[in-house]
Structure 1
Amino acid sequence: MIQSVFRTAVARYKTVREQMRQHSYRYKNEEDKWVQVPRDLTWLVKPIQFRQPQADLVRQSNYAFVDKMQQISMTTLGKRTKLGFTNKGFEKYFADGWKLGTAKLVHTRGKWFLHIGITKEVSDFDTKDNPQIVGIDRGLRFLATVFDSKGKTLFFNGQKILHRRKKFLEIRRQLQSKGTRSAKKKLKQLAQRENRWMTDVNHRLAKTLVALYGSHTLFVLEDLTNV
């Protein structure tokens, strides 16, 4: 568990470092020209903080399903503990050849959730089956650009999405500038609302693509520059 703390902290710093590398500091110089300055971890004002209790658990070593999958046995700071759990809606992932990997135990909104990475080996793609191949590129100006094997291109305009995200950003900045307890509470509610909205947008986009191209389609995420 101590080793997982190191891994989690290092992974978070790597993520932040990449984010800072992608977003340079911009300012206007005396000649009124924009100047970009690369950023790295030295720009952090204070160390990264983990406010949400969480732990990484290695399969069989830190957690295991016991009593015919009725309980989960987990390592805690005190002792090995057996707990009941609910897997409603996820039963198929505990069978049918799925392999369970490292899990992350997270405490949020008064409940504990166990996020488990799973993998499954599948047969190689058979080109003889002749599915329709559709390439998808995600972006901001266009929520999605789609190019199919027939040479047809579709664009899903993302301007309305971008406009609403800017509104969320403006509200977030206003609340952050206040720094009061009620402002922090509203910030949390705003983040949850934005996540639900974006999840719904992605879900509707996915349903639209499946309905448009049918089930016998291979969707591929790719870079469609200058399509």
Structure 2
Amino acid sequence: MQTVLTAKLKLNTTPEQFKALRTTQLAYRDSLNYVSQYAFAHGKMSNAVRLQDATYEEIRLRFHLPSQMACSVPRQVGASYKTLWTKVKNNAVHRKEGKTKKRYKGLDKAPKFISPTLTYQYKKDYTFKKEQQVSILTLEGRVIVPYTGYNKHVALIQRGAEIGASKLWYDKPKKQFYLLVSLAIETADPTPETHKQVAGVDVGMRYLAVTATMQGDCTFHSGKQIVPKANHYARLRKRLQKKGTRSATRRLVAISGRERRLKQNTNHVVSKRIVLQHPQSLIGLEHLTDIRERTKRRKGKNAKQRKANRTFSKWSFAELHSMIAYKALLHRSMAIKVDANYTSQACPKCGHTCKENRPHKGLLFVCQNCQYTLHADLVGARNIAMRTLLIRQDWRGTGLLSVRAFCVGR
């Protein structure tokens, strides 16, 4: 099976190459906004083929994009509109079911593309050369630029990894171009025999992740140092938004980047520790789809409830799960999603399930049936591990992964 990685390559450009790449980026962004306006004016169209037939010649004539880029623009716009249509339909379902009263407004006006990031197709818009050089297409023709990057990623590029599309990203504060290249590498197909161990991972705010195995081993990955920093950024962002000046807006942009990098780095560190602690294991993760809607407090609009909703939606658990998934495949493990219902309320000893098992929704779990007492997050991790073990047993007996789970890395 294949695992997809993203290699971040730093482009060492000359002033002339820098200008050519920047001009190409801005022309690509302008063409995206032109096609977006056209799609909105013609019934919020999401069909990429129809968009390309209607706008291709105008893109070539007005923005002078090369042919392959002129084909990529309608596809990207069409994909964006499809995503928005999906959100509109999901919102309609949630409003009908009473889960929310807000109407999704993403298609009330044409989406505007702000980021100048553009997409390159391998062997059409860019190719790799010898001596760590890459040939990139611009409005003025191809430029050959030397690059540097993470040694393992550079080695994969030079030694036969399957290379896909890439994105030309511009770091505005540093005035530096990066090429983000997707790499597909082959990993061994998973079997029940190669995944001899089972681990469960419970995520949360007090502890970013708690792991447990069927042998009784457990690990707590605390967010004690990270969460206060995230809270600080939230308070600072609130003050700057209230101020509303141009300088406050510039600070908001800088702060958002810092907060994003803080969370991303923390998720990288935690996911790497989890995967290295459980080699050749089947790692169970909670299926947290729509968790924000399911845990949202809707009664009243006071400050305490708004703070609670903000706290529950603060950390990017989906990103943590995805990092665990792809790193597990690189270390001969595999991550699967399991049912997350009642993992923190069910007793792992006798199976009794009720809300009263967690007094005041605190960190202490006390079973009302057998008086089994344990840390609540560890109880959740052990329940996830047991559900993962059941899936592994079904897999071993039938030769197929259970319908109750799916491989995150596929």
TM-score interval for Structure 1 and Structure 2 normalised by the shorter chain: 0.7 to 0.9
Residue 77 of structure 2 corresponds to which residue in structure 1?
Answer: 9
Q: Taking structure 1 as reference, are residues 52 and 43 closer, same or farther at Cα in structure 2, changes over 3 Å only?
A: closer
Provide Cα deviations, 1:193-221, integer angstroms capped at 9, x if missing partner: 2123212322332344246x354443524
Q: Taking structure 1 as reference, are residues 96 and 150 closer, same or farther at Cα in structure 2, changes over 3 Å only?
A: farther
Task: Give percent identity, aligned residues only.
Answer: 27
SS for the counterpart of 2:209 is strand
Bigger relative contact order, structure 1 or 2 (CA pairs below 8 A, ≥6 apart) = 2
1:9 partner amino acid = V
Residue 142 of structure 2 corresponds to which residue in structure 1?
Answer: 80
Q: Taking structure 1 as reference, are residues 184 and 12 closer, same or farther at Cα in structure 2, changes over 3 Å only?
A: farther
Residue 29 of structure 1 corresponds to which residue in structure 2?
Answer: none
Provide Cα deviations, 1:3-37, integer angstroms capped at 9, x if missing partner: 2222333444455566677789xxxxxxxxx9822
Residue 118 of structure 1 corresponds to which residue in structure 2?
Answer: 183
2:141 partner amino acid = K
2:264 partner amino acid = T
Residue 256 of structure 2 corresponds to which residue in structure 1?
Answer: 191
Residue 100 of structure 2 corresponds to which residue in structure 1?
Answer: 36
- What is the TM-score of this pair, normalised by structure 1? 0.73
Q: Taking structure 1 as reference, are residues 137 and 78 closer, same or farther at Cα in structure 2, changes over 3 Å only?
A: farther
Contact 1:73 1:82 in 2 (8 A): yes
Alignment of structure 1 residues 33-182 onto 2, 5 Å: 36-37=100-101, 39-40=103-104, 42-43=105-106, 46-66=109-129, 68-89=130-151, 90-109=153-172, 110-139=175-204, 143-150=208-215, 165-182=230-247
Q: Taking structure 1 as reference, are residues 175 and 87 closer, same or farther at Cα in structure 2, changes over 3 Å only?
A: same
What is the distance in 1 between the residues matched to 2:165 and 2:116? Answer: 17
SS for the counterpart of 2:148 is coil
Q: Give the unaligned 5+ runs of structure 1.
A: 25-33
Q: Give the unaligned 5+ runs of structure 2.
A: 1-68, 93-97, 282-332, 344-382, 384-410
Corresponding pairs, count? 216
What is the distance in 1 between the residues matched to 2:99 and 2:179? Answer: 45
Contact 2:209 2:221 in 1 (8 A): yes
Flag the structure with higher strand content.
1
The reply to whether residue 222 of structure 1 matches residue 287 of structure 2 is no
Provide Cα deviations, 1:154-207, integer angstroms capped at 9, x if missing partner: 665668866654543343233233332211221122112212321232233234
What is the distance in 2 between the residues matched to 1:173 and 1:112? Answer: 31
What is the distance in 2 between the residues matched to 1:38 and 1:223? Answer: 30
2:267 partner amino acid = N
- Cα RMSD between the aligned structures? 3.6
Flag the structure with higher helix content.
2
2:145 partner amino acid = L
What is the distance in 2 between the residues matched to 1:92 and 1:72? Answer: 14
